[in-house]
Structures are given as C-alpha cells and as structure tokens.
Structure 1
C-alpha cells in the first residue's frame, strides 16, 4: 500500500492454494505460510515510515472466485523493555500520547473518516505519536487511519467490570459478555500494526477488591493472550498500589495520575480524595521487569482565549471559582496552569516524566475536548480538558506540548492576547512556550529581560509585566543563537472576516467534509482575539452545511444552526457535497458591521 492508501499492484508473495470441504453451518480453519524477503517495515512517524501490505484471501468453487477478503497489515517488531521503553524495529520510541474519546465534536458520535483524520492531523502537528482509545473499542476505520498515519495505539475495551460505576453500565452484562467481547475485540483489531497493546480496563472497581479483583484481571489477561500472545496486556489504575493483588497480573503497569502524584502539591492540600506521592519509583522498585506507562495524566482544564487574574504563582493549581475559574461565564483560564482536583498541569507532568526516564512516556487527558464531562462547570455542553477545543482550534497548551515534543521545530508562542483596555497599568503576566532554551521579551520595543527556560521547565514567565497597549514580541534563542520569534499586538475593532478551508477540493460522495475556519479581523487583517460577533452562514451549490461550532464549551446553540457567535475571534463551518453531483460550493459568511466573506470548495 502507498502513503495514500492505494494498492501499488505489486505482488510480493503468493500462498499455496488449499482444498477443503466446509460442512454447512460449520467453520474450517486454513493455515498457509509465505516468506516476504526484505520486507518494508511499518513504524511510527517521524523517524520511521508506516509501510503496509495487503493480503487478499479468495474462496474458489469449481475454479470460480465466489468470495474474497482483503486485509491490510504491517510488518514490524515491537519489544517492551523496562529500561528502553517501547522499542519499534530496534528503535526506542518515547510515547508522546493523548487519550481520545470517540465523538467528533459538532458531528456527534457517528464516525466520519475525514473528521477523524483531521483530529489526527492536528495531533500529529503537536508532536503526538500515540493514541489511547478511551474507554471503548474505536471504529475500525480509526485504526485504519492510525495504521496509515503512523501512530502507536493502546486499544481499550472496558471502563467497568463486575463492579459498577453507574447503575446502567457494563457491569450488568459483564459475566455473560466479557469473554466473547474480548475475543471479538482482539480478533477484529489484531492485524492493525498500529495497535501495540491491549488495555482491558480503565480505573475499574476491582482495584479495591484484592484477590477477587485480581482473579477477574487474570481471566481477562488469559483470554487476551489466547487470542494474541504477541502484545502486552494492561489495565489503567488510579488507586491500586505496589503490593496489591491486581497490578502484577498484567504485562504492563499503566498508571492514571498516580505516577506524578495525586494532589501532591501545596495548592492541592485542602482537597479531599485519593492522595499519593509520586509513585513511579515505588512501582519501579516493586516490578523492575515491567514497562511503566503514564496511561492518563494531566487533566488540565482551560477555555481557549479566556484569561483570568490574578494568575497562580505555582506550576499547577486546582481550578476553583476565582482561582482560574469564573462561575459567571463558566470559563476556565487559558494560562494553562489549572487542573481538575485529581490532575496536574502539563508542566508538572512533563517534569515528573523527565525525572523518571525509565517511564516509557504517557497519554495526556485529553487530546481534544469532547461532548460531556464538563469539569468544573456542569452547565457546559463539553469538556475543558482538551489541548484542542471541540471545534479543532488550538488552545495555548498545544504550543507547550509542541515545544517539548518537537524540539527541532523553531517555534515560540506568547500568551495571553494583548487586548486589555481595562487593565492599563495593571500587572498582566506574560508566559512563553518555546522549543528554544531562553528568550527575551519586548513590550513596545523595550526589553523586559532575557530569561533561561531552565531544567525541566516548560515555559518562561514574566509575571510582573505592566499592561500597556501596543506590541509584545519574543525572541527565542537556542544554543546562544536566534531560534524563533513571535508577536502579539493590540488590535483594532472587528471589521472583516477571513475564511480558510482545510482543503479546497473534496469528494462528491456525501461523506467527505471540508472544515472552514472563520476568523474575525480588524482593518489590518489581524485576528481580533476577543471578538464575539454574531455570524450567519449560507451555502450555494450541490452541498450542505452539516454543522457549525466555535469551541466555546458553554455555547448551547444547536450544532446544525446556520447562525452562531464567534468565540474569541473564531468560528467553524463544516460542509459536504451531494453524492454523485460534483460542482462548486460557495460559502458566504456575514455579520453585522463586518465586511462579508466567501470561499469556494470544489467537489469532484
């Protein structure tokens, strides 16, 4: 298979035909072997290539092909080493992962290939190389994409076992269905080269039940191994400790939040609930021959483009009303320091992982915002956890991870925006994320100091900046040389619109989608970061507007609405063509007091 998912037409091996008799209503297993000389290996980007093959199985009767089945697969060697972590084709690959829920934002839960591909493209831009499927088997087509795009995958099946989390969850049918579900789950997904491990449970109640819970884990582990002896098993734990019955049953130690420590900072001491010191060392000591992965970490929260004052002086703090959270707007500060009560900021998580290099990496909660679970404000429609908001717009946190995960990419990012007419003369902290090792900040041409990022630091802070309108500029350095620059400036009032599509051509099949970003700009074509103008959308041509969004977790406007307010300067319109009717789709966007804009998407 080529990089575009097309068959190359080159046959590299042929298996010998086998004649069998298949009785009615019976199954017959046929085994055949072939050698592929000098195979092209599947491996994760960016250091390897996700090269794949296609196996074609045919059933013939009296010399006529009556059925065929095509299986895409990859050839690779993966080892799990307690010292080197995940080793793919001999190369240690550090897990830079995120957890992903199954929904596609404004499109809902029904799967769409292009929408999922867009999610993965943005994650890859950030530096993500691994996905944990949370907390149920994904659409098969999503694994086709991770195969094609070169992601590593932890494939997960259960969020509960026999002990319930909610009255109507899987515990009701677990005794009857757990074994057939595990077998079918693994049989369906085991030919996907991107799948590197099976997660058989997430934060299950059996962590608390000693040997009885361990027995359930052992049963699931044995079933998984009987279906696929080549991949490790795991269950993600947020309570079980070294010495308890459940952790050693599985092949890997997957820790949710416990690795960096839960509520383990002065800012969290007043909170109730599970509390742990950093447990990476204790698990390492107890299970020196097992790979340790941070299967769920961070649980940081923010609303894109919202900034509240004062800003915590710490590296991580639990969100609360008046401390990172605003109960009136139901938004959370985007200084990217605030978390759920059990979480830790990206800064703290990445620092802890750096302090424990034997940990194979981890998975952030979460890659994208998702529908439901709106911690901390339950009036919202969607979560605040994502590094990317529900519409697919990057939060500031995106650039913190990008700076760390893509160290060879020259980049610098300033926060917050610089439109603060009511803060003239007030302290307005400025933070910078950069892949450089030091940076100098300028306000209206005057240097505010050059600072070193420091060991295990993931931002550079100027916490005493006095706000004056104008221009903020950062110059980042690496190894003493200029590396990257970034500028934010006070803008004029909103006066026009800019439309940018992710693609200008899509298929006229009724399924392919174009995602058009609407930016509200001033007269100088600079995005206005606080704009909330009401916008209207119309589409001409053989297609339709499928959904609109703006990334605001508090916006309860229907996703199918053709009118929506911008949220901090942005809106999203999703369009598709009509199957079998190619043509030009013209999207028009208008807003009171704004110069209208349009863009054309061609369907073919």
Structure 2
C-alpha cells in the first residue's frame, strides 16, 4: 500500500515565546474487525498476509539499523506480505515508522510470558510490578502509528489453560481498552480451547498452529473458535513453522503435502540441513500447502502470520548445534528460499510468475528419480525435460504447487510453461551448469549516504562460464575494500556456518554470499568492494558515498 501520512505539530509557548515544539506523524484510517469477513481497512477487505519477525538483523546483530530493516521490508513486500507481527516484544520505534511509510499492518506485541515462567530469568520475575506500567507505556508510545491494528498481550502463555489466564487476561485487557479502545487485544494461543477463560477475554482470537491442525493432524480449531466467538475476528497469529535450508534438496521427497522433518524425512543431521522442497515442518507445524488448505476451507479466517519472514539468530530447530533458525521464508543473509515463491504465488496471484525447483545440476543422480515442483498462481502447467513434455497438469482444488514426482535426472534443461484462463501465463527454466569460472558481484544500492549509518548489501554469486549460478558452489571468498567505508559483516545464509560475522572471508553457500558495507561518517567519494577467490578472477563493485 501507499499510505498518506500527516504531521501534527505541538507547540509549547510561554506568553508569545515558543519554548518547545514536537512533531507527531500520524495517519487517518478506519479499521473493522468482522467475524465473518475478516479485516476491513477504510471499508475495504484486506486479507492478512503477514509474517512473524524476530528483532535481529541477521549478521548485523540486534542493534537497530534503518536501512537493514527497510531491506527486509522491501523483500517481504516483493513477496506480497502486507502485515508484520513483532514477535514477541515491542519493536524499535523506527520499525513502526517504516511500517507506516511502506503501508504494512502491524500486530504490535509486548509479552511472551506473564506470571508463570518459560525460562528462569524471564519477565515472570517482574510481571507484578511492571506489567501495568510497561503495557501503558507501550501503547502510549505506539498508538499514533496508523500501521498498528492489534495489541498483542501474550504469546503461548502458560496460563492459557487455567483460570488465571482469564483473570490476568482480563486485567491486561482493561489496561488496553483504557489506553486505546480502537484496537483490540489479542494473543497467540497454541493450546487454549475455544471455551477457555483466556480465549473469552481476547478481542481477536489468535491461533498458533491450531487452525491448520498441529503436525500431520488435519483437526482444525477454526470451527470451534468461530462457533464459541461468533462476534470476534479470527486469524492465525502464528502459522506453518516449516523448515528449510536455501538451495538444499534431500531425497526421497514425500508424496504428501506435509511431513515432519527427521532423518529420512527431509533432514540431514550430519550436515545440519533441511530440504528446500518446503514440505518438512516441526512436530507442531505444517507446510504452507497444508496451512492454505485450512484457510481456504474456512473463509472467515482473516489471514495469517507465518513463522517466520526471515531466519534469525538462535532457535535452530531441528539441529540445536546450529547458529540460526531454519524457519525463515528468506535466509539469514536475505537470500530468498524457494518458499518465497510459493507465498508470492498465493499473495500476488495477479503476478505472472513461475518458479522451478530444484536446481538441475545433479551429476550424482543420473537416472534417479528427482521430483520437479513448480510454484505459480497459474491453473495449468506443462513441464519439458530436455525438450520433451513430462505432461501438462491442472492445479486441482487444495493444490498449491504443480508436481512431477517421477522425473528422472538427466543433464540438460527443465522448462515450464504455465497457463491461466487458457492463456500463457509465465515460464521458467533451470539448466545444468558447469564448473565455477568467475564471481559475479552486485550491490543492492550503489549510491549511499555518507552518514556512518547507511548500508549497501553486496552479493557475490559463484557462476559458470555462461554466468549461471553454480548451485552447490562453496568456494572461499575474501572481501576487501578501498575508500571511506568498512566491511561490517559477511554471511552466506547457512545456519551451520560458525564463521564469525565480521570475518571478511567466508565460503559461499549454495553459490551465494553477502558482504554488508557501511560508509564512514562524513564520507564522500568512491568505495570499491572487491571479492577474490582462489583460482577465479577477482571482481569489484563501486559504491558512491555522498
């Protein structure tokens, strides 16, 4: 969305002399929470296409940087996301300023626990003393932001199944209503029943994983909650928890639309990797395909917040020895996983797009079954393997990908042609590539502010002689810099890589790696970033700081 924002100027005067002024950015909009239709913004239905977001900024760590978060929002917006959940803590104020400007809706959250602990040193220690002042301060700070559509007062709270859940929930609800009666309180419920005291006090019924059914179960909680609360909007406050490692494909591939990750089921414990066919979830989670089935079956559901938009530091389920999570639609470096295109096909259904997976460079799989999947909003697709049709398929009800599960690998080319309404919609191609021959370097922006805060995200791809990314390349690459700037960090998106983030040298992962460049404060002039790798010609990109 492209919102209109305004500024209110508050002036304090003594006599005729102004002693202070304060500017408050705000927007004007209406919100309707309809139990049967979902969320209406300015009277128009908006399906919530959201992601949950941890506070870290990948290899930069947790200290806030405007450009780093703006880049994340831009990537999510390209996918079709229109909503953000600040799981599970108040965001930096700049988070909301960006959301206001870029037109995202925000589920603004404060507590991850109440009086009962999740870990020994969490907020339960100070809940009695600080829950009221913190909640009031939180709402007062954020309530002028038009992006905020709900106040999150708890996530998977241990009290949700007890009488205390209703008592404490009602206490917190009272504070929310006193501070802002225009936006309802909500919480992420992963075990609470529809008739619980906890659910009764919420203004929006938020279900964590219960809507699509936990794990391989198809037992949805949506009908029970809709029946028990016919006047309240329902959304999936946390959905999916599918796992994957960008560019990694593990065989065989499940024939179903969902599977629990493990050895022999999309997981490789020895390498700490999870298959990017995007079908393998945690024991409580579900693939996107399974989530979509539940949401389409119950059209009163307002939408979802996917766990998570980006991989983040910590919580490396299912491999606890890794450095970062596998949950993200986008990896820690900001590189898109295949899942990005599955959500884009659903959330931007009017965008002509087709995406083939996996890559098609498998010298060790000649003659072996190597399933080919395609993500697209098209209703038909025909796959060609080395010029020969593997069949034209129609997408059936409750199907969100095209699958050719019996393709046997032979070097060459995959090409898909998709159709919508009988007309050609979009195409995609995957080719067998050669050995690494050179590095390709690009910057997300070459003109940056020399203020000591702006950033340029520089990507290096290991490519063959034709310029195609070598999908399993792991060449070691070293970055260097000349001019008024600094290499802040590097990354490759591999959750199992423990190379320290400030290191200028790092292996590529699935053919890609990233360097983040910051100009010096007061910088002006060219900053040349060079990437070098043994046996390959070095390459560089020039940034301009002003």
Given the two structures, how large is their TM-score scaled by the length of structure 2?
Answer: 0.99
1:285-434 aligned at under 5 Å gives the runs 285-434=227-376
The answer as to whether partners of 1:426 and 1:467 remain within 8 angstroms in 2 is yes
Displacement of 1:322: 2.2
User: Would you say 1:242 and 2:194 are equivalent positions?
Assistant: yes
Contact 1:521/1:527, CA 8 A, preserved across alignment: yes
SS across alignment from 2:55: coil
- SS in structure 2 opposite 1:70? strand
1:201 aligns to what SS in structure 2? strand
Q: Does 1:230 align with 2:172?
A: no
Q: For structure 2, list consecutive stretches of 5 or more residues without a partner in the other structure.
A: none
Q: Which of 573, 582, 593 matches 2:515?
A: 573
Extract structure 1 runs of 4+ deviating beyond 6 A: none
Q: TM-score, normalised by structure 1?
A: 0.90
Report matched runs for 1:72-221 at 5 Å.
Answer: 72-210=25-163, 212-221=164-173
Deviations 1:371-412 (Å, cap 9, x if unpaired)?
000000011100000000000000000000000110110000
- Offset, 1:62: 3.4
In 1, the alpha carbon distance for the partners of 2:194 and 2:414 equals: 49
Contact 2:281 2:287 in 1 (8 A): yes
Unaligned runs of 5+ in 1: 1-44, 266-275
Which digits, 9 at most, give the CA deviation of each residue in 1:514-565, with x for residues without a partner? 0011111001111111110000000100010011000000000010000000
Q: Aligned to 1:523, what secondary structure does the other structure show?
A: coil
1:512 matches 2:474: no
Structure 2 residue aligned with 1:41: none
Matched, 1:55 2:8: yes
Q: What does 1:411-490 correspond to in 2, within 5 Å?
A: 411-490=353-432
Separation in structure 2 between the aligned mates of residue 263 and residue 71 of structure 1, nearest angstrom? 45
- C-alpha displacement at 1:208, in angstroms? 2.3
Q: 2:476 aligns with which of 509, 519, 534?
A: 534
Number of the residue aligned with 1:12: none
Q: Distance in 2 between matches of 1:64 and 1:544?
A: 46
Kindly state the Cα deviation for residue 104 of structure 1 after the two structures are TM-superposed. 0.1
- Check the 8 A contact 2:205/2:232 in 1, yes or no: yes
Higher relative contact order (CA 8 A, sep 6+): 2
Task: Confirm or deny: 8 A CA contact 2:29 2:42 kept in the other structure.
Answer: yes
CA distance in 1, matches of 2:68, 2:431: 33
Structure 1 position 248, deviation (Å): 1.0
Q: Following TM superposition, by how much is the alpha carbon of 1:321 offset from its aligned partner in structure 2, in angstroms? A: 1.5
**1:262 aligned to which of 192, 214, 221:** 214
State the shift of 1:196 in Å.
Answer: 0.5
* Other structure's SS at 2:515 match: strand
The offset of 1:242, in angstroms, is: 1.6
SS in 1 for 2:59: helix
**Where does residue 8 of structure 1 map in the other structure?**
none
Q: Residue in 1 aligned with 2:441?
A: 499
Q: Are the equivalent residues in 2 in contact too, given 1:264–1:277 (CA < 8 A)?
A: no
Matched-pair contact (CA < 8 Å) for 2:216–2:259:
no
- Superposition RMSD on alpha carbons, in Å? 0.8
Q: Post-superposition shift, 1:292?
A: 0.3
Of 271, 283, 292, which residue of structure 1 is paired with 2:225? 283
Aligned to 1:548: 490
Q: Any idea what SS the aligned residue of 1:154 has?
A: strand
Counterpart for residue 42 of structure 1: none
Q: Secondary structure at the match of 2:301?
A: coil
